[in-house]
Structure formats: C-alpha cells, structure tokens
Amino acid sequence: MNKESSRKRSRRYDQRPARTSRKAGDGESVRLQKVLAAAGYGSRRHCEELITAGRVQVNRKVVTELGVKVDPGSDEVRVDGDVIERPTLRYYVLNKPQGVLSTNSDPDGRIRVVDLIGDSNHLFTIGRLDRSSEGLIIVTNDGDLANKIAHPSYQINKVYTVRVAGNIQREQLAEVRQGVYLSDGKANVESMRVKKRHKQTTELEMVLAEGKNREIRRVLARVGHKVLQLKRIAIGPVRLGELPEGAYRELTVAEVKALKRVTSEPSSPSTRRKYAKRKATTGNAKRKVVKKTQQGRRKKSDDSRSTTPGTTRKSARGAARNSKTRSSKSSSGSSRRKSAKKRNVRKRR
C-alpha cells in the first residue's frame, strides 16, 4: 500500500504545472550571463551583449568582461540600475494562430504571442513561427533552457504538418531528404513523409532539428511546391495535442523534466559527422543498387533484341546450347577419323 500510494503521489506531482523559484547555481558561483539568462533577460548571447555594453553591475561595480562568476544568493546583480529579482520560472505551451507575431517587440503594435498569455514579465518564445504559420510554441522566462532548445547543437526535433499545392512526387521527396542548398547554407530534413494526397494538394509531415528562417517554405519552394498551411505539432517531448487555437496551458513537471533531459548534453560534432557519413554511404549504396539493376535490364533487352523474330529468349538459349554440342560432337568425330586413317597408313607400311 505504501509503494502504491507513493507512486500515485509521484504521478500527481509530475502532472502539476511546473513553477519553481530555484535558480541555476544556488549556493555556488556561476557565470554572470547564466544568472541573467535564468532571470529572464534573454538568451546567453543576448546577456553577453548586455555585459559588454556596460549595462550590468555586480555589487555596485560595472562589469564588462565575460567569464565573471557570481553567487546568486549573496551577490547583488543589477541591469540598467535595477536589481534583478529571483522570479518564479514559468513554462507555457501555446497554440499560435495565424496572424500573431512571435516577437516580443513590434513597433506597429500588432498582436503578439505574449499578449495572448497576459503574463508578459520577462517572457519570451522558444522556436519562433512566422506570422503565416500556426501551432505549438513554448513561452518561458527560463533563458538557459530556451537557449538550449533553440541552439542547433542540441538537435531537438520539431515536427510539422504541411499542406502544399500540387501532387509532390517521389523524386522531389528524395531531393528534399538529401538536403537542399539555400542562400544561408544547406537545409537538412530529419524525416519527411506523405500523410495524405488530394486532387490538388498534398499533406506532409516533416521533422527538422534546425531552425533557419522560413526554412520549410523555402525548401519546398525550391522543389516547386508552395506551402498553403504550416503547423507545428511538437518540440522534442512536448506535444500540441488537443489544445484549441489561441489557447495556452502551463507545462507539467514531467514535460519540463523531459525537456531538461534532452538538453542535458549537446550532440557532439563526431556524432553529427558519423550520422552524415552514414547517410551518405547509404545513399551511395542505394545508387549502386539502382545502377546494377539498370545494367541488368539493359543486358536483358540486348539479349532479347539479338534473338530472331518469332523466337523467345528461352528457345534462343536452347538453340545456342544445341549448336555448341553439335559443333563439339562434329569436332570430336573428325578427330577420331583422322586418328583411324593414321593407324591404317602405318599398318600398310
């Protein structure tokens, strides 16, 4: 009974909304940019820019050098003269509708993702979607986790459903899977499959581990298909599920744990090189198999052309074998006759 009750309690705890005031580096010295990112001042790179610009103070002294370590529990850290607080970390998942901006600042005053949540205190989005796209987007004030999810070195998969104009062919799917070169580099797709075909459109499911600007739209345009609808349904272990359009919910403790688990260590360059090499070798092997089959088909077609009209390949092969046996028999018979003549000549002498 005690074990069952503890399991039930742990399940209920994992399904609770994830809120914590515990910051990275409690009781120990950590880098200043990490403390700023954890306080909700953006990614580590943005926090490094704040430091080098002279906007950060530690114990009333301006710090402009990167790599300075502080104790969040005892040192006083200020940004633009304001003491940074230790806010409760919040994690939301939102189903972004079309026409809503992912950015935190818009001079034109258009509606943003953070406006739909209301709690805009140092919140920012992870994995931006363009204005015409919709679907899952994570909103948080945990800058450290946001930086890891967005960084390509961690290889966090994002799953999208895409509806394109026209009927996409196998050759075009293979071209996208092999990688398409864009103006800012090669775009690689982890996986791609056709979900459903209609008369004038095709529904696809695509998985990406990187996040170039409007990557899916540009890749599919390169193979001649315009994107009509683009929706993200998953980021790593977090799924959109049945969340209505424009609605949001807080991530559970289990979901935040899963996100931190997949971002605990970045994928090493050697692993990425091995994956790329394996992908290239499998592609070469497939091309070799196709080449051999094509050569075999050509040979068969040449054999069929060489046969006389009205005869099959099987009968032609049989005739060839019979002619070989006849020629061998005739040659053996003639050799026997020649040897017999020689013996008769010797006897007469």
> Which CATH number is 40's domain given?
3.10.290.10
Does 224 share its domain with 246?
A: no
pLDDT of residue 224: 92
Mean pLDDT of 218-240: 94
Mean pLDDT of the chain: 78
Question: What tokens appear for 213 in the block?
Answer: 């600007």
Q: How far is 340 from 181, CA to CA, in rounded Å?
A: 80
Does 206 share its domain with 253?
A: no
The residue with tokens 């580099």 is 185
Does 165 share its domain with 227?
A: yes
Q: Is residue 166 part of a domain?
A: yes
How many CB atoms neighbour CB 248 within 10 A? 18
pLDDT at 17 over 80: no
pLDDT at 328 over 80: no
Mean pLDDT of 18-28: 51
Strands 185-187 and 180-182: antiparallel
Q: How far is 192 from 253, CA to CA, in rounded Å?
A: 31
Provide the domain limits for residue 28.
20-83
pLDDT digits (tens, 9 = 90+) for 42-63: 777 888 999 999 999 999 999 9
pLDDT at 163 over 90: yes
Does 26 share its domain with 162?
A: no
Q: Is residue 37 part of a domain?
A: yes
Mean pLDDT of 147-161: 88
Q: Is residue 41 part of a domain?
A: yes
pTM for this predicted structure = 0.62
The sign of the torsion formed by the CA atoms of 333, 338, 342, 348 equals: positive
Q: Is residue 296 part of a domain?
A: no
Question: Mean pLDDT lowest for which of 32-41, 176-185, 301-310?
Answer: 301-310
Number of structural domains found in the chain: 3
Question: What tokens appear for 302 in the block?
Answer: 């040449």
Q: Is residue 308 part of a domain?
A: no
Catalytically active residues are 130
When comparing pLDDT for 171 and 326, which is higher? 171
- Phi-psi group of 217: left, alpha or beta (phi > 0 → left; psi -120 to 50 → alpha; rest → beta): alpha
pLDDT at 253 over 60: yes
Q: Output the CA–CA distances (angstroms, integers) from residue 124 to 111, 117, 120, 271, 293, in the order listed.
A: 14, 11, 8, 31, 54
Q: Select from 26, 29, 27 the least CA-distant residue to 89.
A: 26
pLDDT of residue 96: 95
Q: How far is 292 from 178, CA to CA, in rounded Å?
A: 21
Question: Is the distance from CB of 155 to CB of 138 less than 8 angstroms?
Answer: no
**What type of residue is 153?**
S
Cα–chain center distance at 305: 49
pLDDT at 225 over 90: yes
The residue with tokens 């075999």 is 296
99's CB contacts (< 8 A; 6+ apart) are 111, 131, 132
Does 63 share its domain with 168?
A: no
pLDDT of residue 72: 76
* Per-position b or e across 188-216, b if 16+ CB within 10 A of its CB: bbeebeeeeeeeebbbbebebebebeebb
pLDDT digits (tens, 9 = 90+) for 88-104: 788 999 999 999 998 88
pLDDT of residue 11: 52
When comparing pLDDT for 233 and 13, which is higher? 233
